[in-house]
Amino acid sequence: MTPDELVERWDNQQAADIADGKGDSRRFSTRSELATGGHRPIGDLLDDERADHVTRSDCSARATTAVPSRLVRTLAIPSPEKMRPRWASYAAVSAARGSRWAEGCYARGATWHFDDGGGNWADLRWHSRSEAVLIGYDHEYSETYFDAAADYFDRSETDLFAGVPSWWRHAASGYIERQRRTGEWIGFVYGFDGYRWSRADYTEPDGFDALGLPFSSDATCSRRIADLLNSWKPHDRATSHTVASLLYRGHTLDRSTADSVFGARRLDVDAAVAAANAFTPLPRGDH
């Protein structure tokens, strides 16, 4: 289905929502709204087309299945392949703004990076073509105190690698060394085995849900992208078609689409295309 057809469906949904008293779905969520699901603009329809029916609440890092023999819990988080077009689109928007913004979201080598500029971050680090770890920290809500953080804060440590496959630690080794060297703390480490995400079995808040990763669903990502564009150019508000076109292309963003999104806003079209295309192909990892 084309972006135009998706926009038509979204307009019909919006009209129905307003008629039902649900308000204007063009509003964009704050961080607290993201935690409870927020509104549902064009991205939800894109999710339907990709058969990705996972909402923000479904995408939280809560444990859904315990595996007692391995002490590992399976998580309801989208696969890297489903997150890739969203991550790439967000990176394109960030890069279009300028080099300083581009440092907050990018793909380099075996790493996909995101940070919110306020001390909260997440990296997807590829170990192989099918295996990856998702590692990060929320400076307000991560309470796991892993490794060096336990000594620094004088708190009990949560072992983020208890019972997990050994390759997780290898994939995260650079982050562990960096934490010991610079104090850039680690709140969570999740592993993807080619089929599902999982983590060690612990009860302490690790900060993932509070981080509000923009790539948990197309709906969430579309809100965040529109919010960025509208904050930079408040007199040239992003339309549903603008956001749909960007997410539709994702990591295959071409110059024509980028120019239609960023050109009129006097943003860097070339940087946007390069940032999105950096997510193709999938890295070989560090295996």
| pLDDT tens-digit series, residues 236-248 | 788 888 899 999 9
- What does the block give as tokens for 50? 């990709």
Inform me whether the pLDDT recorded for 39 exceeds 90. Answer: no
Tell me the HSE value of 265 on the side-chain side, using a 13 A CA sphere.
Answer: 26
Give per-residue burial for 26-59: e unless 16+ CB within 10 Å, then b. Answer: bebbeeeebbeebbbbbbbbbbeeeebebbbeeb
Cα 149 to Cα 42, 156, 186, 201, distances in angstroms: 41, 9, 8, 19
Give 67's pLDDT tier (boundaries 50, 70, 90): very low
Instruction: Determine the residue type at 149.
Output: A
Inform me whether the pLDDT recorded for 141 exceeds 50. Answer: yes
Residue 35: inside a domain: yes
Q: What was the pLDDT predicted at 35?
A: 34
Q: Which domain holds residue 185?
A: 3-277
Give 281's pLDDT tier (boundaries 50, 70, 90): confident
Those residues with Cβ within 8 angstroms of residue 81's Cβ, 6 or more apart along the chain or in another chain? none
Residue 282: inside a domain: no
Instruction: Tell me the C-alpha distance between 98 and 196, whole Å.
Output: 35
- What does the block give as tokens for 268? 């860097």
Residue 286: inside a domain: no
Residue range 106-132, pLDDT digits in tens? 999 999 999 999 999 999 999 999 999
Q: What was the pLDDT predicted at 61?
A: 55
Per-chain mean pLDDT for the chain: 81
Inform me whether the pLDDT recorded for 72 exceeds 90. Answer: no
- What does the block give as tokens for 24? 């204007």
Q: What was the pLDDT predicted at 264?
A: 79
Q: What was the pLDDT predicted at 265?
A: 85
Cα 182 to Cα 70, 123, 151, distances in angstroms: 32, 17, 14
Q: Tell me the mean pLDDT in the region 3-18.
A: 48
Give 71's pLDDT tier (boundaries 50, 70, 90): low
Domain count of the chain?
Answer: 1
Instruction: Tell me the C-alpha distance between 221 and 86, whole Å.
Output: 6
Q: Tell me the mean pLDDT in the region 243-257.
A: 95
Q: What was the pLDDT predicted at 3?
A: 56
Instruction: Tell me the C-alpha distance between 194 and 244, whole Å.
Output: 28
φ, ψ (nearest 5 deg) of residue 48:
-60, -40
Residue 260: inside a domain: yes
Beta strands in the chain (DSSP E): 63-67, 72-75, 105-108, 111-115, 121-126, 132-137, 188-192, 197-200
Please give the share of the chain, as a percent, with pLDDT higher than 90: 64
Q: What was the pLDDT predicted at 217?
A: 94
Residue range 165-174, pLDDT digits in tens? 999 999 999 9
Virtual torsion, Cα 35, 39, 42, 43, nearest 10 deg:
10
Residue range 187-226, pLDDT digits in tens? 999 999 999 999 999 999 999 999 999 999 999 999 999 9
Residue 283: inside a domain: no
Virtual torsion, Cα 170, 176, 178, 180, nearest 10 deg:
-140
Q: Tell me the mean pLDDT in the region 257-270.
A: 91
Cα 46 to Cα 2, 168, 247, distances in angstroms: 10, 32, 8
Q: What was the pLDDT predicted at 4?
A: 56
Residue range 73-111, pLDDT digits in tens? 999 999 999 999 999 999 999 999 999 999 999 999 999
